[in-house]
Chain A
Amino acid sequence: MEHYNMNLTLKVWRQKNNKAQGKFETFQVKDISSEMSFLEMFDVLNEQLVADNKEPIAFDHDCREGICGMCSMHINGRAHGPWHQTTTCQLHMREYKDGDTIVVEPWRADAFPVIKDLVVDRTAFDRIIESGGYISVNTGNAQDANCLPIEKQQADLSFAAAACIGCGACVAACPNASAMLFVSAKASHLALLPQGRPEAKIRATNMIAQMDKEGFGSCTNIGACEAECPKGISLDNIARMNREYIAATFSGSNE
């Protein structure tokens, strides 16, 4: 791989806190190596700001390996930036060239209020899980794991749904700020497994109710979520959960 250096213009959303008005601020960064990750480029910028006695830009990140779901930048109009199925932290600077301008914003959604700069509050997702995103089993005395064979194809489908990292890009990408892709991925992961079947309907009902309560928008089948999801979570999960939900509504109960 050829490496090169570049100078860039960054327009970044700054917002002191939840109450304050935010605005874009423009920065120049120099000698950014094409080998850096996007967040390492932000590290360079922040070091520069500290050196100038200014406040660095707050952004969420932790694993920097694309798995914790903490990083969350809206880059040039796209959640997690331009690379397909890639989180912000895994985006690398070889995507850009000298002289480029990059606009960076936080996730925008009523249910994700801004805490500071690029950091938003995603605790709504925890509360959705709390409302039913689990299998009701206590610790201890589970039967031998191989007493429950599961068809490989089914297990793989469940795993594909379980790959969701709870980052919220689907919400940020959706014009309605709907959380359907996230909720359906969580519900499908469990509903696709025999262990998760007994609670499948009540789970879907409760999680959808909580999602609405949190102020996420409704799903109108636009599909922007799937396109921007870093883990390739499929829209099929939404269809699957809707079936579950309708079945629950019709039977009027949660058997």
Chain B
Amino acid sequence: MPINSKIPQGELSKKWTTYKSTCKLVNPANKRQLEVIVIGTGLAGASAAASLGELGYKVKTFCFQDSPRRAHSIAAQGGINAAKNYQNDGDSTYRLFYDTVKGGDYRAREANVYRLAEVSANIIDQCVAQGVPFAREYGGLLSNRSFGGTQVQRTFYAAGQTGQQLLIGAYQALERQVALGNVKQYSRHEMLDVVIIDGKCRGVIVRNLVTGELERHFGHAVLLCSGGYGNVFYLSTNAMGSNVTAAWKAHKKGAFFGNPCYTQIHPTCIPVSGDHQSKLTLMSESLRNDGRIWVPKKQNDTRKATDIPEEERDYYLERRYPAFGNLVPRDVASRAAKERCDAGYGVGSSKQAVFLDFASAIERYGKVEANKQQMSNPSREQIIAMGKEVVKEKYGNLFDMYAKITGENPYEVPMRIYPAVHYTMGGLWVDYELQTSVPGLYALGEANFSDHGANRLGASALMQGLADGYFVIPYTLGNNLADDIRTKAIPTDHPAFEEAEKAVRERIEKLMSIKGTESVESFHKRLGKIMWDKCGMARNAQGLKEAAEEIKALRKEFWNNVRIPGDINEFNPELDKANRVADFMELGELMCIDALHRSESCGGHFREEHQTEDGEALRHDEEFLYVAAWEYKGESNFELHKESLDYEVVHPTQRSYK
């Protein structure tokens, strides 16, 4: 099948405007006849469902949590980007576009990224109209902060809980549509397959997680907004339930999987404390605005951080990257931390950690406050006390979280941090209209591969999720559904529904019948370890080949020896988890295959064989300037399709943050 990304003709900056003014529309009477299924109610799903409901489509939403408001988007801390240029510091649509393409190490599609930058400003307007309480300055205007990989301040935020505030905004808009009868909402429901009829996606099979019953739902179109798959590594910053199941089922029914190996390892997370660890906690990137990262200059230095004098500290990001300093992109910062720890400079009991220090920020802010208050001779104590107040106002909830988890006070001693799996740039391949390679099946938000190339910049996922849901899909879905207005709702006793449901039922029965000896959790941990060791922050051909084999063996063991207590027809979280882990075990293999085939380093994908002299990622544009879109051909059998990336405006160069 040839790949058609459906990028509109014309100048980059005009493509989206042209598309919007020429795409097909569906009239209101017809919209009422068209049913749309939305899987997931995170930022992407909730914003899409609310907007489509407002337009008059008949929408159904599904999520596995007990309420749409609890989707993983809720946990986003730091902020959301938009090219508003409110700070008058030289920002523009073009600059946001350029930063994103460069940050993604030239592996993203120009047209998509430009559109994202274009609609970014509308997102902020929309959210404020909905009542999202963004941080403000004393003059009453919106406040901004900086994030990694940029030199302007374009990040909007709501203390350290931007995701929660944005999601509540979208959720409220969604509940309004539920009240109006335009959206029907199903919580504690998990999608376990898509239904394809005459080559088009026409529905889903879902499991009611409370009763265990399987249900069939018809839709003229299905939107997967099911989030990312970082939990394939077991330990990640994702919520415990985040999974790949929806996307993977779609993949097995024909949707191509784009760049599965592009994983983001976030540089600032609380380090692992022991085997009991169930997840890792992010310390927002916004902390790098004010925190300085360092390790001791001496190897195996066991002194307390506060006992190490200034001249014996190595602020290695500032040293290596003077232009961006602590605000280099995530992939660069993570690798630099790994490099220091591997070389023996790590701190803490595990030696797998570096310091994130706020002492100089506290002093700096304290002095500013003293000035503001026109204090003539402030004492050091006064300065520090005032500085701590400022830092508390900015990052208080993050500092509290750190203190609760580690039992240490980050206002007094530097935080210890280490990189952790955080986000997946890979996902279902979609065209410019966010449609997968299966007609009628769309993917939005983190579930698709589209906008971030090989590395995502901070504060860009929230932007992308909301751009997809509020501003892109309402147009592109209409353009396609305009051809479907004569299609009557297909009754769910259609053989395709029967068959899909049967397959789902059989798989569940099979899982329950194994009655082995090892828990799902234990298999998940073992999978995670293979992935982290061999397909994690640094990868090489040998390790990837081994990993693919090890995963296959583990999968076999799983299907022979997993133990799932309880019954099928009841609330059974162990069974839910088993369904998800089974899919992770298939995805993990594809990630290794993709990472092995991409014999270059780019963004978050670092192949040890391909690095510059000073250890930076070395791309091979002549060979790999494409999106790898994998087609499922049966177990362990994937066919590669290439979508070549034609850069018309930006010219790929070696990224430099020096």
Q: Which residues of A contact B (CB under 8 A)?
A: 1, 16-17, 33, 35-37, 39-40, 43-44, 46-47, 49-51, 53-56, 58, 60-70, 83, 86, 90-92, 94, 115-116, 119, 121-123, 125-126, 129-140, 142-146, 148-152, 155-156, 158-159, 162-163, 165-166, 189-190, 193, 195-196
Contact = CB atoms under 8 A, between A and B. Distances in A.
Contacts of A140: 51, 122, 126, 470-471, 474
A126 B187 contact: yes
Contacts of A152: 136-138, 140
19 contacts: A1-B407, A16-B570, A36-B274, A56-B573, A58-B571, A61-B240, A64-B281, A65-B75, A67-B161, A119-B571, A129-B171, A133-B172, A139-B54, A143-B125, A143-B129, A145-B142, A146-B86, A146-B141, A155-B140
B226 interface: no
B338 interface: no
Given A17-B570, A65-B281, A149-B141, A135 B172 contact: yes
B67 A126 contact: yes
B309 interface: no
B133 A193 contact: yes
B126 A142 contact: yes
Contacts of A94: 407
Contact of A56 (B130, B131, B240, B574): B574
Given A63-B75, A68-B75, A130 B175 contact: yes
Given A17-B571, A40-B277, A129-B175, A122 B66 contact: yes
B439 to A, nearest CB: 25
Of listed A90, A134, A152, A193, residue having the most chain B CB within 10 A = A134
Given A43-B276, A134-B173, A152-B137, 18 more contacts: A16-B570, A37-B405, A50-B565, A62-B240, A67-B75, A68-B65, A70-B66, A90-B401, A92-B404, A122-B66, A129-B172, A134-B130, A135-B130, A136-B176, A138-B54, A140-B470, A149-B136, A162-B158
Contacts of A46: 521
Contacts of A37: 278, 405
A126 B177 CA distance: 12
Of listed B136, B173, B407, residue having the most chain A CB within 10 A = B136
Contacts of A144: 125
Of listed A92, A136, A159, residue having the most chain B CB within 10 A = A159
Contacts of A136: 176
A165 B136 contact: no
Contacts of B70: 62-63, 68-70, 166
A139 B140 contact: no
Interface in B539-571: 563, 565-566, 570-571
B587 interface: no
Of listed A39, A121, A139, A195, residue having the most chain B CB within 10 A = A139
A202 B443 CA distance: 37
A67 B125 contact: no
A149 B172 CA distance: 22
B436 interface: no
Given A65-B401, A137-B129, A40 B278 contact: yes
B645 interface: no
A206 B317 CA distance: 54
A32 to B, nearest CB: 8
B279 interface: yes
A112 B278 CA distance: 28
Contacts of B122: 140, 142
Nearest to A62: B239
Nearest to A133: B172
A142 B466 CA distance: 15
B285 to A, nearest CB: 15
A126 B68 contact: yes
Interface string B283-313: 0000000000000000000000000000000
Given A64-B240, A126-B67, A43 B521 contact: yes
A85 to B, nearest CB: 8
A195 B129 contact: yes
Given A44-B276, A70-B65, A139-B126, A150 B140 contact: yes
B164 A116 contact: no
B130 A137 contact: yes
Contact of A63 (B50, B72, B134, B185): B72
A157 to B, nearest CB: 9
A63 to B, nearest CB: 5
A243 B66 CA distance: 32
A206 to B, nearest CB: 10
Nearest to A57: B573
Contacts of B136: 149-150, 152, 155-156
B58 to A, nearest CB: 17
B612 interface: no
B139 interface: yes
B146 interface: no
Of listed B84, B282, B571, residue having the most chain A CB within 10 A = B571
Q: Which 9 A-B pairs have the closest CB atoms?
A: A149-B140, A134-B172, A142-B129, A142-B125, A1-B407, A159-B133, A145-B128, A139-B51, A68-B70
Contacts of B129: 135, 137, 142-143, 195
B67 A122 contact: yes
Contacts of A33: 274, 276
B197 interface: no
A231 to B, nearest CB: 9
Contact of B519 (A16, A51, A62, A132): A51
Nearest to B408: A1
B1 interface: no
B640 interface: no
Interface string B136-160: 1111111000000000000000110
